[in-house]
Amino acid sequence: MDRRAFIGAVGASATAGALATGPSAVGASETEPDLEEWFANADNYDGVANKTGLDEVVVEVGTDANGGAFGYGPAAIRVDPGTTVVWEWTGDGGQHDVAATDDSFGSPLTDEAGATFEHTFEAEGTTTYSCTPHEAIGMKGAVVVGDAPAGTAADSVEPDYGDWFADVDNYESTVDARGTDEVAVSVGAEGNGGALAFDPPAVHVDPGTTVVWKWTGDGGTHDVADADGDFASEAAADAGHTYAVTFDGAGISKYRCTPHEGAGMKGAVVVGEYSTAGITVGPEVLGVGGSLLAAVLSPIAFYVFLVARGVGGRPPVGRSYRPGDEDAPFDRETVPRRDDSRDDSAYSGRTS
């Protein structure tokens, strides 16, 4: 079945289910379930992943769990009211579905990789769901909406940023964006006395996730510059300009807008199982004009590449290439990471 056709089919069935059961059934059950009890036979449940602050959250169907490809990943999430949860099939583990225990939504059974089903949760509360054929072996999930209690499960612990966000007035907490391949951050959002903020200022992602900064066009000229110099965008003021970095390794990467750091325009990306002892994040910078540069270069290889072109010093990671540039390193291949105290990965580039 075509992916778009599948989305349309299941979206219609989800809407019909919501209308049939009434408003209380959309995103909330009659009583708050004890998630520890619900997930008693699910070996991939380790607490509620905080996905608040996101308009859309992706949950994989058929992840490795419960003795095979019989899991939802993440198993339990917390979202804001109005958030759309998109379940995406991996194609593993046979036929799966997504069936709410209160019958507020339900997808067809499918084993098609890339198939999706989505449901928007409007009301606060907790909804549990399962895969009909595999519920008995632990293929279960839960969506906690708003401030609803979630049994005895613990939400994510806030990282220690020191005083990095002390003068950032739009920072409240870290948005948990784990489980998604790409995360968007606005550049020039309202905050710090003007359009002088990143939004959200702090995100937690999995290794391999791409963070895309998108300029609003407000607040003058901004850039995105890693505090340790590992990556930096060009300065820009145009609405729609983008800069992307794919993060590997694990750690906390702090960044700022160079012209407006003093006003509090700062952010952070937490990657994987972070450690406050030191940053071990290696960026893979994606490049210009909306096109992905196929080059993947380690820091040392990229340095050699620049020196060969007569550029000395530390490589200006995130350098822009325009579409059609003859010297864009499209034919570069992956080189092993250098063996030192940092788990740096490679660079390619994309800004637009």
Q: Are strands 116-121 and 83-89 parallel, antiparallel or unpaired?
A: antiparallel
Q: pLDDT tens, 141-172?
A: 999 998 766 554 344 567 889 999 999 999 98
- Please report, to the nearest 10 degrees, the dihedral formed by the alpha carbons of residues 183, 178, 105, 142 taken in order: -160
> Residues near 182 by Cβ (< 8 Å), separated by ≥ 6?
209, 210, 211, 212
Span 156-352 CATH architecture: Sandwich (2.60)
Q: pLDDT tens, 252-268?
A: 999 999 999 999 999 99
Q: Domain 3-145 belongs to what topology?
A: Immunoglobulin-like (2.60.40)
As separate numbers, helices (DSSP H) first and strands (DSSP E) second, the chain gives 3, 18
User: What φ, ψ does residue 23 adopt, rounded to 5°?
Assistant: -60, -35
Q: Is the pLDDT of residue 140 over 90?
A: yes
Q: pLDDT tens, 168-202?
A: 999 988 888 887 788 899 999 999 999 999 999 99
Q: pLDDT tens, 325-341?
A: 344 332 222 222 222 33
Of residues 284 and 180, more confidence is placed in: 180
CATH 2.60.40.420 maps onto the chain at 3-145, 156-352
Give the pLDDT confidence score for residue 206 in this predicted structure. 86
Give the H or E element holding residue 19: helix 3-21
User: What φ, ψ does residue 272 adopt, rounded to 5°?
Assistant: 60, -145
Give the pLDDT confidence score for residue 43 in this predicted structure. 93
Q: pLDDT tens, 22-79?
A: 323 333 333 445 788 899 999 998 888 889 889 999 999 999 999 999 999 999 999 9
User: What φ, ψ does residue 345 adopt, rounded to 5°?
Assistant: -110, -155
Find, among 191, 160, 185, the residue nearest to 173 by Cα.
Answer: 160
Instruction: Report yes or no: 244 and 284 within 8 Å, Cβ to Cβ.
Output: no
